[in-house]
Chains A and B, each alone.
Chain A
Amino acid sequence: MEKKIETKTQELIRRLKYNKSALFGLVIVIIIILGALLANYIAPNDPNPSPPELANKLKPGFWSEKGLKGVPLGTDSLGRCVLSRIIYGSRVSLSAGFVAVGIAMILGITFGVIAGYYGGWVDALIMRIVDIMFAFPALLLAIVIVAVIGQGLDKAMVAIGIVYTPQMARIIRSSVLYIKEMEYIEVQKAIGSSDWRVIFRHVLPNSIAPVIVYGTLMLASAILDCAALGFLGLGAQPPIPEWGAMLSKSYSYIISGAWWAATFPGIAILFSVLGLNLLGDGLRDILDPRLKT
C-alpha cells in the first residue's frame, strides 16, 4: 500500500516537471510559504512598531534619493515598512485562506458525502440548499454573513468558509456518486461493511483528487476574497498587516504622490492568486484529466 502511494507521488512530481506553468505556480507558492514561515528572519523591520514612527510616514523606497535606508519599498501613512508588512501579511493571508478552505472542506465533504452516499430526500434537501446559496454572488454572501456575525479577520475566514461550502459539497457529491457505482463498493456492502467503513476507507480516499485540485483553486479565491473583505473594512482590522486592509488604508494617499503603499500589497495579492491558480490548473490536468476544460 505504502509503495503505491509513493509511486503516485513520484508520478505527480515527474509530470509536474513537464508542466511549466504549474511549476512556475509552485515556485511562487513556495516563495510565499517560505516568506510566511520565515517572516521573523527576513522582514527588515518591525511590521507594527509601537509607538508608530510618524516622522517617517510615506517615505519612498529604493528608487528615490529621498528614501529611507533599510526600507526598500517605502513606508505607509503610519511610517511602517511596507515590505515588512507585506512579508508578515503573507502569514495572515495564507493562514486565512487555509482556515477558510479548511472550513469549506470539512463542511463540504460532510454534506457532499451524506448527499451523494445516501441519496433520496437527504440529497434533495442538501442540494436545494446548495442551489439557494449559489443564487448569491459569493462575495456578497460573505459580506452579509460578516454583517450578521461581526467584522474582523476570524469572522471573515468563517464567512468565506461557509460561502465556499456549497461548491465543495457539489464536487464531493458528484465524485461520491461516481465511486458509489463501482463494483468494489458493492462488494464491500455485500460482505457487510458498515457505511462508515465504506465511506472512510473507500469512498473518501478515492475522492481525494478533486479535493486537492479544487482546494488549491479555492485557496486562490479565498485569499482574494479575504483581501477584498479587508479592503472593504469588513475583514482584518488595523493594525493587522493584511494585504487588502493595507490597500484600503493607503489608496487615498496616491493623490499626494505616495503610490508605493497601495501598489505593492496588490502585487503580493496578484502573485499569490496567480501562483495558486497556475498550480491548481496544473494539478487538475495531472490528477484528473476528466475535469479538464
Chain B
Amino acid sequence: MKWYITKRLLMLIPVLIGVSILSFSLIHLAPGDPAVTMAGEHASTQTINAIREKYGLDKSLPIQYWIWLKDALHGDMGRSIVSNEYITKEILERFPNTFELTIFSMVLAIIIGSIAGIISASKQYSALDYSTMGLALFGVSMPVFWLGIMLMMVFGVYLRWLPIGGRIDIAISLQQVTGFYLLDSIITLNFKAFISILRHLILPSVALGTIPMATIARVTRSSMLEVLRQDFIRTERAKGLSERVVIYKHAVRNAMIPVITVIGVDFGLLLAGAILTETVFSWPGIGRYVVKAVGMRDYPAVQGSLLFFAFMFVMVNLIADILYVYIDPRIKV
C-alpha cells in the first residue's frame, strides 16, 4: 500500500511539470508581446518594462519558466490585468464557493444515484427499473447549462420557490470566518443565513449533479447486477437470508467498488461543469472567474486558474486511485 502511494505520487511529478509548462506557455502562445499581454493593452511603457524585468522576459525561455515556476510555487502568480489584484488571492477567495458547490453536487449525486441504481438492480426489468434508467439516459446526455436555465425558470421564475442566483440574500449579513459560506453560517450560529445559503445552493447543485448522478446510477445498477449473479449471493439466498439482508448487507458492499472509480472520474467532470453552472447562476466561483478572464484576455489570470484547476483535478484522481486500492484489497499493487 505504502509502495503504491509512493509510486503514484512519483508518477505525478512528470504530469505536474508538464501541466506547469503548458500553463507557462500560454502567455507565449498568445499573440503579441508577452510583456504587453501581461501588463494589459493600456499599460504605460514604464509598467511594461517593469514587467519585462520582473519576469525576465528578455531572457531565454527556460530561465523565464524557472522564474515563473519559482514564483508560482511561492504562491505568486502575478497580478490580474483587469483588477490589478494578486491572482492567487482572487482564486483563493473564489475557491470556497466552487468547493461548496461541487461537494454539495457530488453528495447529492452519490446519494440519489447509488440508491436509484440499487433499487433498479434489485427490481430488474420492472417499470421502476425502466423509468429510472430512462431518466438516467437523459441525465448523461444533459447540457448542464440548459438544465440550469430550466430549473431556474421553473423553480425560480415561475414557482418562486428558490432564488435564481448568487450565494445568499443581499439583506442577510454573514460574518466571514473561513470563506466557506455554509461553514461560516454554522460557526457563527447564523441560522437565517444558513437557510438562505442552503436555498441558494439547491438549484446549482442539482444542475451540476445531474450528470454524475446519472452515471453513478447506471454504474451502480450494472455492478449490482454483476454481483447478484455471483455464487456467494446464491449461497446466501439458499441459506434463507432475507432478500433485504442479501442486497443491502452483502451485494451493495461489493457492488460499490467500481462506483468509487466513477465518482473519481466524475469529480473532474464536475469541475468542468462548474464553469457552466457558475455562469448560469452567477455563482462567484473559479469557473466563472476563468470564463471572465478568457473573455477579457486576462492571460495571467487564465494561467493561474488553469494551473489551479489542473492541480485540483490531478489531486482528486490521486485520491480516487488510493481510495480504490484501500477499499478493494484484491487489487494487486
Q: A-side interface residues toward B, CB under 8 Å?
A: 21, 128-129, 131-132, 135-140, 143-144, 146-148, 220, 224, 227-228, 231-234, 244, 247, 251, 254-255, 257, 259, 262-263, 265-266, 269-270, 273-274, 277-278, 293
Decide: A254 near B22, CB < 8 A? Known: A136-B309, A137-B272.
no
Indicate which residue in A138, A227, A259 contacts B143 across the interface (CB closer than 8 Å).
A227
Which residues of B have CB within 8 Å of A147? 26, 30, 293-294, 297, 299, 302
**In the complex, chain A residues whose CB is within 8 Å of the CB of B297:** 147
Q: Give the contact stretch, choosing among B108-116, B144-152, B232-240, B242-250.
A: B144-152
Check B19 against A232 for contact (C-beta < 8 Å): no
Q: B254: CB under 8 A from chain A?
A: no
12 contacts between A and B (CB under 8 A): A135-B15, A137-B269, A144-B294, A144-B302, A147-B294, A147-B302, A232-B279, A259-B153, A262-B146, A266-B143, A273-B143, A293-B222
Can you list, as one digit per residue, whether each of B294-316 has a CB less than 8 Å from chain A (1) or not (0)? 11010100100010011001100
Assembled-state Cα–Cα distance A135/B157 (Å): 38
Interface set, chain B 1-32, CB cutoff 8 A to A: 14-16, 18-19, 22, 26, 29-30
Query: Which B residues are CB-close (under 8 A) to A247?
Result: 145-146, 149
Contact of B141 among A136, A148, A274 (CB under 8 A): A274
- Is A146 within 8 A of B146, CB to CB? no
Question: A185 CB to closest chain B CB, in angstroms?
Answer: 30
A143 engages B290 (CB within 8 Å): yes
Question: Residues of A contacting B22 with CB < 8 Å?
Answer: 132, 136
What does the 1/0 interface line of B302-333 toward A look like (CB < 8 Å)? 10001001100110000000000000000000
Known: A254-B153, A274-B137. A144 touches B145 (CB 8 A): no
Contacts of A137 in B (CB 8 A): 268-269, 271-272, 309, 313
CB neighbours (8 Å) of B29 from chain A are 148
B144 to chain A, nearest CB (A): 8
Q: Do A129 and B313 have beta carbons less than 8 Å apart?
A: no
Q: How far is the CB of B331 from chain A (nearest CB, A)?
A: 18
Distance (whole angstroms) from the CB of B156 to the closest CB of chain A = 9
In Å, the complex CA distance between A139 and B140 comes to: 16
Binding site for A on B (CB under 8 A): 14-16, 18-19, 22, 26, 29-30, 137-138, 140-143, 145-147, 149-150, 152-153, 157, 164, 222, 268-269, 271-273, 275-276, 279-280, 290-291, 293-295, 297, 299, 302, 306, 309-310, 313-314
The reply to whether B275 and A143 form a contact with Cβ atoms under 8 Å apart is yes
Nearest A residue to B314 via CB reads A135
Given known A-B contacts A228-B145, A232-B279, A146 and B271 have beta carbons under 8 A apart: no
* Residue ID in chain A nearest B21 by CB atoms: A132
B276 touches A232 (CB 8 A): yes
Q: How far is the CB of B273 from chain A (nearest CB, A)?
A: 8
What residues of chain A lie closer than 8 Å to B269, measured between beta carbons? 137
Q: Which residues of A contact B313 (CB under 8 A)?
A: 135-137
A274, B15: Cα distance in complex, Å: 34
Taking A132-B15, A147-B30, A293-B222 as given, write out 15 further A-B residue pairs in contact, using a Cβ cutoff of 8 Å, ordered by the A residue number: A131-B15, A132-B19, A139-B273, A140-B306, A140-B309, A144-B306, A254-B149, A255-B164, A262-B146, A266-B147, A269-B146, A270-B138, A270-B146, A274-B141, A278-B137
A137 CB → nearest B CB, Å: 3
Contact of A143 among B140, B142, B280, B294 (CB under 8 A): B294
B77: min CB distance to chain A, Å: 15
Nearest CB in chain B: distance from A34 CB, A:
20
Q: Could you say which of B153, B276, B306 contacts A231, with CB atoms under 8 Å apart?
A: B276
A160 to chain B: closest CB distance in Å? 13
Which residue of A has the minimal Cβ distance to B276? A228
Contact of A263 among B150, B222, B272, B290 (CB under 8 A): B150
Query: A148 contacts which of B26, B152, B271, B314 (Cβ < 8 Å)?
Result: B26
Minimum Cβ distance to chain B for residue A60 (Å): 14
Contacts of A251 in B (CB 8 A): 149, 280
Q: How far is the CA of A293 from the CA of B220 in the complex (A)?
A: 12
User: Please, how many angstroms separate the alpha-carbon atoms of A231 and B144 in the complex?
Assistant: 11
Find chain B residues with CB under 8 A from A254 CB: 149, 152-153, 157
Please indicate the chain A residues that have their CB under 8 angstroms from the CB of B279 in the complex.
231-232
Q: Would you call A140 and B18 a contact (CB within 8 A)?
A: no
Q: B268 to chain A: which residues have CB within 8 Å?
A: 137
Give the residue among A21, A254, A262, A274 with the most B Cβ atoms within 10 A. Answer: A254
